[in-house]
Structure 1
Amino acid sequence: MKNQILPVALVQERAITDQGRGNAEANLAIIEDRVAEAARQGARLVLLQELHNGAYFCQHESVDEFDLAEPIPGPSTERLGKLAKQHGVVLVSSLFEKRATGLYHNTAVVFDADGSTAGKYRKMHIPDDPGFYEKFYFTPGDLGFEPVNTSVGRLGVLVCWDQWYPEAARLMALAGADLLLYPTAIGWDPNDDDAEKTRQRDAWVLSHRGHAVANGLPVLSCNRVGHEPSPIGASGIQFWGNSHILGPQGEFIAEAGTDPTLLIAEVDMQRSEHVRRIWPFLRDRRIDAYGDLLKRYRD
C-alpha cells in the first residue's frame, strides 16, 4: 500500500491580554504569522489551542466575559477562513460562540483549504472546577460526536475536557474519524508541589496515548502555555504546553515543551490500517454486553 503522509502543525502559544482580558486582534495576528510559517514548512493541517483569541477567562464567573463571544459565522470565522484559503491549509480553530442571547458554546470550527467552513463541533463535556468555571459560560454541545469531512480526511475534533472521556474518542472513531484532534487549555495550580504537577501532566498525556491505542488513530493535542493570573486573586493557572502528535499505537511523533512552539511533523495516515489489522479492537468489541454504559452508575 502507498503511504499517505500528512504534514501537520500545532500552534502552541502564550495568550496576549489587554489588562487581563483577551486581545483577539493581537492573538489572531500571531496566529496568522504561525499559520503562514506552518504552510511554508509544508503543513496541510493546522490545529490551534482552545479559546485562542485571548486569555482563559473561565477562571472566574463574570457576566462581562460574555462580551467576548461572537456569532458563527462572525468576524473571527471570516478572518480564519481567509487565512486557511490564503495558505491552502485545513485549519482547526476554537471560539467562544454566541448562538443566541443567553446561549453560548465552546465551539471548534474547521475550515477547509479553500477557506470554506467544513464543519464545527460544540464541546460536549463542560467542567466546573476551581479555576475552570466553564458551566457558567458554556451550554453543553448538541451536535454529537460527528467527524468533519475535509480535504485531508475526516477529523474527529473534540475539545479539552472531552479528552478525559474514552466514550467521546470511541464514538468519533466509530463514525469514521481518520484523526482525533484536541484544542486544549490545561495547566496546574502554581501552588501544587512538583510531584502533583508531574502526576497531572502525565495523566493528561497518558489519556491521549490511550485514545490513540484503543482506537488505532493518530492524536493531535494543542495546549496553551504561560501563567495566566486569576481575576479573583487566586494563584492563577500555569498552562504546561507539552502539545503533542501521536501515532496510532500511542507513539510520540513530536512533542513540544513549555514555550511557545510551532510543532510540525508528518503523520502516516496509512498506519491506522496496518495497526487495526494487528490489533482489531473494533472487531472484538462486545457490543451486545455494553448496555450498562448508558447508566450513570451501576448500583
Structure 2
Amino acid sequence: MLPVRTALYQGPSGVPRSIPENLAALDSAARTAAAGGARLLLTPELWLTGYALGDRVPDAAEPADGPGARAVAAIAAEHGLAIAYGYPERAGDVIHNSVQLIAPDGTRLANYRKTHLFGDFETKHFTPGDTLVVQADYAGLRLGLLICYDVEFPEAVRAHALAGTELLLAPTALMRPYEIVPNTIIPARAWENQLYLAYANRSGPEGGFHFAGLSCLAAPDGTVRARAGLGEDLVLADVDPGLLAASRAENTYLGDRRPELYGPLA
C-alpha cells in the first residue's frame, strides 16, 4: 500500500478572520498541498471561525451540514483531497467543539465532538461529546478523530489504538507555555499506541490567547516526520502503512497488554 501524503495547515494566525477570509486561506493551502501530492489536509481546532470567539460562539455555530461544510466540500472537490476541519457545531439546543472530515468528492465521512473540554472558555460555551472513538476509512487507512486536549489523556488515544485507528487526526488550539505537548507528548502517544498522529495547531496571539504553533506529524516509531514553526505554516509528510506494520511487529505494546489488571483505572 502506498504512503498517504498528509498536510498540516497551521493558520491563519493572529486576530480571528472572517469565515470568507478563512475559506480563502484554506483554498490556497489546499491548492499548495495538492500540488505537493497531499491526499489529506488537516486544519486547527475551531479553524472555520477562529478560536477566540468569546460570547459570539452561539452566533458562529452552524450544523454539520451548514454553509461552512458545503464551502469546505467545494474546496476539497476542487483540489481532489480530503479535508478535516475544526468548527463550532450547533446540534439542536447545544453547541459542540467539533471536527469534520470531508472526502475529495465532497461527501461528509465523519464528525467528532470534543469529549474533554479545556478551560473556562470551552466549558462555558460548549457541551462535551459523548462518543470517544469516531473513525472513517480513507485512502486505505483507518482514520480517527480527536481534538486538542483529548490527546493529552492516554486513555483517549489508547481507545483509538485498540479500535484499529492507524492515523489519528487532532486539530488543536494549544496555548503557550504548554509546548511540552507537541514536543514530547505527541511523539510519545504515537510510539506507545503504534499509530500516526497528526496534530495541527493555531499560532500566535488571538484575543486573550497565545497559541504555540509547532504542528507536527508523529510516526509510530516515535519520530516526528514534519514540524511547523511558530507562525502560519503548511507542512507535508507521508503516512506509510509499511512503516506502521513494521513498527507494530517490532513494538508489541498493544499485544502485550494485560487488561485483566487494568480494571481500577476505569
Equivalents in 2 of 1:251, 1:243: separation in Å? 14
Equivalent in 121, 128, 131 of residue 119 of structure 2: 128
- Identify if the C-alpha distance between structure 1 residues 16 and 23 changes in structure 2 by more than 3 Å, giving closer, same or farther: farther
1:207 alignment partner in structure 2: 185
Residue 67 (structure 1) shift: 0.3
Q: Deviations over 1:259-281 (max 9, x none)?
A: 21110122212211111111111
Measured against aligned partners, the alpha-carbon deviations of 1:84-134 in whole angstroms (never above 9, x if no partner) come to: 122111111111001013x010111001122110111111101125xxx20
Deviation at 1:135, TM superposition (A): 0.8
Q: What is aligned with 1:90?
A: 82
Gaps of 5+ in 2: none
Q: Which amino acid counterpart does residue 115 of structure 2 have in structure 1?
A: M
Pairing of 1:63-82 with structure 2 (within 5 A):
64-82=56-74
1:186 pairs with one of 161, 170, 174: 174
Match of 1:239 in 2: 211
Q: What letter corresponds to residue 186 of structure 1 in structure 2?
A: L
Deviation at 1:152, TM superposition (A): 4.4
Q: Please give the secondary structure, in 1, of the residue aligned with 2:179.
A: helix
For the pair shown, which has the larger CA radius of gyration, 1 or 2?
A: 1
In structure 1, the gaps of 5 or more residues are 189-196, 230-235, 295-299
SS of residue matched to 1:187: coil
Q: 1:280 aligns with which of 239, 252, 260?
A: 252
TM-score normalised by L of structure 2: 0.95
Runs (4 or more) in structure 1 with deviation over 6 Å come to none
Counting aligned pairs with the same residue, the percent is: 33
Report the TM-score when normalising by structure 1.
Answer: 0.85
Q: CA RMSD in A?
A: 1.6
CA distance in 1, matches of 2:6, 2:124: 34
State the SS of the aligned residue for 1:227. strand
Choose the corresponding residue for 1:13, options 8, 11, 14.
11
Distance 1:147 1:41, change over 3 A: same
* Counterpart check, 1:49 vs 2:44: yes
Conserved? CA contact 1:43–1:264, under 8 Å: yes
